Amino acid sequence: MRLEPRIASPAQTILYPVAAFAATFAFAALLVLLAGVSPLGVFRLVFLGAAGSQFALLETLTRATPLIFTGLAVTVAFRAKLWNIGAEAQLYIGAVVTVVLGTGAVAAPSWALVPLIALAAMLAGGLLLLGPALLKTRFGVDEVVTTLLLNFIVLLFVSLLLEGPLKDPMGLGWPQSQRVVAEAQWPRLVQGKRLHMGFAVAILAALAVWLMLARSVLGYEMRAVGHNAAAARFAGIPVNRVLALTALISGGLAALGGVAEVSGLKGNLTLDLSPGFGYTGIVVAMLALLHPLGVVASAIFVAGIFVGADAMSRAVGVPSYIAEVMTATALLTMGTAIVFTRYRIRWR
Please give the residue ranges that form the binding site for other proteins (CB under 8 A): 1-3, 31, 34-35, 78, 83, 85, 135, 139-142, 144-146, 148-153, 156-157, 159-160, 163-164, 279, 282-283, 286, 317, 319, 321-322, 324-325, 327-329, 331-332, 335-336, 339
User: Longest Cα pair distance anywhere in the chain, in angstroms?
Assistant: 71
Helix (H, G, I), strand (E, B) or coil at 317: coil
Q: How many CB atoms lie within 10 A of CB 220?
A: 16
b (16+ CB within 10 A) / e for 255-281: bbbbbbbbbbbbbbbbeebbeebbbbb
Nearest in space to 90 (alpha carbons), one of 257, 295, 245, 275? 257
Pick between residue 71 and residue 264 the one whose CB is nearest to other proteins.
71
d(CA 90, CA 97): 11
Pick between residue 34 and residue 217 the one whose CB is nearest to other proteins.
34
Entry field: residues in the chain: 348
| Cβ at position 45, least distance to other proteins in Å | 16
| Cβ at position 222, least distance to other proteins in Å | 17
Question: Residue type at 126?
Answer: G
| Phi, psi dihedrals of residue 5, rounded to the nearest 5° | -60, 145
Helix (H, G, I), strand (E, B) or coil at 109: coil
Pick between residue 9 and residue 142 the one whose CB is nearest to other proteins.
142
| Cβ at position 150, least distance to other proteins in Å | 8
Pick between residue 198 and residue 308 the one whose CB is nearest to other proteins.
308
| Cβ at position 43, least distance to other proteins in Å | 16
| Cβ at position 330, least distance to other proteins in Å | 9
Pick between residue 32 and residue 64 the one whose CB is nearest to other proteins.
32
